Amino acid sequence: MAVIDRRWLPLNALRAFEAVGRHLSFTGGAEALHVSQSALSRHVASLEDLLGRPLLERRPHGLVLTAAGSALLPAINKSFDRLEEVMNSILREEVGHQRRLRVHVAPSFLHQVALPVLGDFRREFPDILIDVSSGFAIGLPATEVDVAVVFDRPQASDTVRDLLWMVRSTPVCAPSVAARCAGMGLRAFLSANELLHVKFVGEPIGGHWAHFARQRGFTLEARGGMAFDTITLAVQYATAGQGVVLADVDMFAPELARGSLVAPYDEIVEEGYGYYLAFHSEDLGDPAISLFRSWMIARLGRATRQASSASSPTSAMSA
């Protein structure tokens, strides 16, 4: 089996494939690089010959990436982006030039936990700028980022993943809902109220409530009730006196401490979900990413311990 050596990397062919893959069009790629389509096609063909497999597939509606092409294109994009950034910084020769770190954070974690942490990082390391994006990605998002905080379960991955925050959930509701149902057992309480849901990719609506009930030895019809994109939205709806939601006692410790949200039962479940810091293994040597990684692990590890001690729910009803 031939081995690719960096001394003979086909840079023109890689650039040609990147342009075609980005536009999913030989015409668009040729216009972007200001070369002819025939020259672009020859470069892509030579790269496919070198790898021994197709990178693009022609279909009636246009070009699509093959599995090999889908694996190669993000690596080329990231490498070119990094080369462009470093070379431009050298050309500018700015005194105190600032590195810009692209950080993607899951929405609820960003709103409830990460914003003040990111602010503290900026104050301590002013030479590193932070570009923040947010969305519902489970792994690293499709957009170009340097590092991401994602919601997921432990799993094998080709990315570096550090657990920042383990989710510990309990039923929470508005004080008025708890007062109305005072004296009820847990099963009766859940059956008497609308159960709110958070939508997870690949998970059925009601799955988390059903798992919670099974762990406590009973079954629960949990498919009804409103479903939300984020736990923050679900908790806001519950705080207004509408329904009950399984929420992280650490993430929503401030609301529980203020009393705008209550946890009527001392029942906490851990399903293995958590928030992970994820980035590509080839970026382990990047000083800015390494610094950000160490900071987040140290800061959020401490924050989780403090939140856990402050948010232990006090049972307001009999179980």
- CB burial of 146-166 (b: ≥16 within 10 Å; e: otherwise) equals bbbbbbbeeeeeebbbbebbe
pLDDT number for residue 24:
94
User: Is the pLDDT score of 202 beyond 90?
Assistant: no
Of the pLDDT bands very low, low, confident and very high (cuts 50, 70, 90), residue 314 is very low
pLDDT number for residue 100:
84
**Mean pLDDT, residues 173-202:** 91
Residues 100, 106, 109: CA angle, nearest 5 degrees: 105
In angstroms, rounded to a whole number, what is the distance separating the alpha carbons of residues 292 and 214?
39
Pairing of strands 245-248, 169-172: antiparallel
DSSP state of 114: I
User: Is the pLDDT score of 2 beyond 90?
Assistant: no
Q: Out of 38-52, 90-104, 276-290, pick the least confident.
A: 90-104
What are the pLDDT digits (tens) for 209-254?
888 888 888 888 877 789 999 999 999 999 999 899 999 999 999 9
Q: Out of 91-105, 200-214, 254-268, pick the least confident.
A: 91-105
Look up residue 151 and give its two tokens: 């919601």
User: Is the pLDDT score of 65 beyond 90?
Assistant: yes
Pairing of strands 147-152, 99-105: parallel
DSSP state of 7: G
User: Is the pLDDT score of 110 beyond 80?
Assistant: yes
Give the burial class of 126: count Cβ atoms within 10 A of its Cβ; 0-12 exposed, 13-18 middle, 19 or more buried: exposed
In angstroms, rounded to a whole number, what is the distance separating the alpha carbons of residues 166 and 160?
17
**Structure-model confidence comparison of residues 230 and 271, the more confident one:** 230
In angstroms, rounded to a whole number, what is the distance separating the alpha carbons of residues 161 and 232?
24
Give the end-to-end CA distance of the chain in Å, rounded to a whole number: 64
Q: Mean pLDDT across the chain, nearest whole number?
A: 85
pLDDT number for residue 307:
52
In angstroms, rounded to a whole number, what is the distance separating the alpha carbons of residues 153 and 258?
30
Q: Which domains does the chain have, with CATH numbers?
A: 6-91 (1.10.10.10), 95-164+281-305 (3.40.190.10), 169-272 (3.40.190.10)
pLDDT number for residue 219:
86
Using the structure block, give the residue that is written with the tokens 């009803």. Answer: 317
User: Is the pLDDT score of 93 beyond 70?
Assistant: no
User: Is the pLDDT score of 62 beyond 50?
Assistant: yes
Supply the DSSP string of 37-92, one letter for each residue.
HHHHHHHHHHHHHHHTS-SEEEETTEEEE-HHHHHHHHHHHHHHHHHHHHHHHHHH
User: Is the pLDDT score of 47 beyond 90?
Assistant: yes
Assess contact for 237 and 228: CB atoms under 8 A: yes
Q: How many alpha carbons fall within 13 Å on the CB side of residue 214?
A: 9
In angstroms, rounded to a whole number, what is the distance separating the alpha carbons of residues 179 and 15?
65
What are the pLDDT digits (tens) for 112-132?
999 999 999 999 998 888 999
Alpha-carbon distance values, 172 to 177, 235, 253, 301, 305 (Å): 10, 8, 11, 24, 21
Q: Out of 33-47, 78-92, 262-276, 289-303, pick the least confident.
A: 78-92
Q: Give SS3 for 228.
A: strand
pTM (predicted TM-score): 0.64
User: Is the pLDDT score of 190 beyond 60?
Assistant: yes
Assess contact for 84 and 113: CB atoms under 8 A: no
Share of the chain above pLDDT 70, in %: 88
